[in-house]
Amino acid sequence: MIAWLTKVRSKPSRMAVGLMSGTSADGVDACLCEISGYGPDTKARVVHLASVDYPEHVRNLLTHRIGKLDVEEVARLNFLIAEVFAKAALKCIEEASFHVSDIDFIASHGQTLAHFPEADHELLPVRATLQVSDISVIAQITGLVTVGDFRPADMAQGGQGAPLVPFADSVLFRDERLGRIVQNIGGIANLTYLPPGCRPEEVIAFDTGPGNMVVDAVVDRLTKGRQSMDTDGRLAFSGTVNRPLLRHLMSHEYFNKRPPKSTGREAFGVQYARKVVDEYRQFTGASGEPWDPGVHLRDIVATVSELTVQSMVAAYRTWILPRGPIDEVILGGGGAHNGYFVARLKQELLELNPSVKLLTHGDFGISDKAKEALAFAILGNQFIGGMANNIPSATGAARPVVMGKLALPW
């Protein structure tokens, strides 16, 4: 292990595969990348991206039964998902015409099965997070040293174990003169704010609220599963925002909570979407009528799409602008391709700063799909260097820590 570490650590650049599966639980993204340096001197370049879908029954478990999984399902998923992660890594390496022997390490986020940043369980009053996709299994299948399971170390130091991507954002997007927001719109929307020339402790990062999650859930519910998302924001564009309902939704306690803060499916998942539909019926006085979802679909989608936009803008106004300038907003995530989000966000941003630029990760040579997997490769690179890889101001941890665990392939 020492010989390996000594060799890999001091190479001019390392070839790594970052592995990520988000809360949407579609499958695994594998990003082959070249990384040089450590800490603020890190440089990273995406070489290739590959994806592997989860088998359908796994995706079903992860989306519809995730809160009800039993201990046997957790144990088996930890191994089965690791096989999918390993397959994605090997596929990515092969597609890029590399050999396993060219690769220095794998860094894996794993698949989140549970995340409880509060000690609010009666019998087990402790904070916890659970990512599966066993790194020993990945290491043994791929033959590569594997770093992963980053969140628990931060949580053990009082942090939320999230968000973790801001560390990579600070490495990839920090600018000496510009204040930048890196705005990711996945199921949940989250931002990293990098003040001009910021030090790590000046980085601000938190979940702004729902991204695509509520929109997707509403579309799925009201089309009875015939549609799963609002492609390009077409439904939202064609609908009318219900302002009273929007105001009500914006009064959700999460939006007023002081950062650092994070949220997820528990707060803005299927249950929440169901409640929004019910509330829409009350707000429009439609609760007594026979209910034709098709008629109201567009307006509900417009309203929850606007909720995503408004919750981001409110966050900029309340928590970012008092701390520094917003010169550029760099969009990422699936929601960066939702025309409604982009158009409305641009309108709102121009009111905050008429010279603001709205960019995408693509403008920096990083595809949206590659971003998170790349981020975990960067966290893994820090682990290999024995250097901290959390942002305490974002997670709330008491101090910088070297997050992650290491498994050997030998």
Interacting residue ranges for a copy of itself, rule: CB under 8 A: 1-6, 9, 57-58, 61, 66-80, 82-83, 113-116, 121, 123-124, 126-130, 134-137, 139-141, 149, 152-153, 155-157, 383-386, 388, 401-408, 410
Q: In Å, how far are 167, 207, 250, 320 from 259, measured between CA atoms?
A: 16, 8, 17, 10
Distant-in-sequence, close-in-space partners of 242: CB < 8 Å, separation ≥ 6: 280, 283, 284, 299, 300, 302, 303
**Which of 9, 346 has the CB closer to a copy of itself?**
9
Q: CA 361, 337, 237 angle in degrees (round to 5)?
A: 145
Do residues 167 and 44 touch, judged by C-beta distance below 8 A?
Answer: no
Q: How many CB atoms sit inside 10 A of residue 246's CB?
A: 17
**Which of 137, 198 has the CB closer to a copy of itself?**
137
Q: CA 396, 20, 190 angle in degrees (round to 5)?
A: 40
Report how far residue 153's alpha carbon sits from residue 380's, in angstroms, rounded to the nearest whole number.
Answer: 14
Q: In Å, how far are 69, 93, 147, 330 from 364, measured between CA atoms?
A: 40, 23, 26, 9
**Which of 75, 350 has the CB closer to a copy of itself?**
75
Distant-in-sequence, close-in-space partners of 14: CB < 8 Å, separation ≥ 6: 8, 34, 35, 36, 104, 105, 381, 384
Report how far residue 338's alpha carbon sits from residue 391's, in angstroms, rounded to the nearest whole number.
Answer: 29
**Which of 114, 246 has the CB closer to a copy of itself?**
114
The least CB distance from residue 148 to a copy of itself, in Å, is 9
**Which of 58, 314 has the CB closer to a copy of itself?**
58
**Which of 133, 184 has the CB closer to a copy of itself?**
133
Select from 327, 353, 386, 383 the least CA-distant residue to 173: 327
Select from 337, 142, 165, 359 the least CA-distant residue to 234: 337
Query: Measured on CA atoms in the order 220, 222, 225, 226, is the torsion positive or negative?
Result: negative
**Which of 116, 364 has the CB closer to a copy of itself?**
116
163 cis-preceded (ω within 30 degrees of 0): yes
The least CB distance from residue 403 to a copy of itself, in Å, is 7
**Which of 124, 226 has the CB closer to a copy of itself?**
124
The least CB distance from residue 362 to a copy of itself, in Å, is 34
Report how far residue 249's alpha carbon sits from residue 278's, in angstroms, rounded to the nearest whole number.
Answer: 12
Do residues 84 and 27 touch, judged by C-beta distance below 8 A?
Answer: yes
**Which of 352, 402 has the CB closer to a copy of itself?**
402
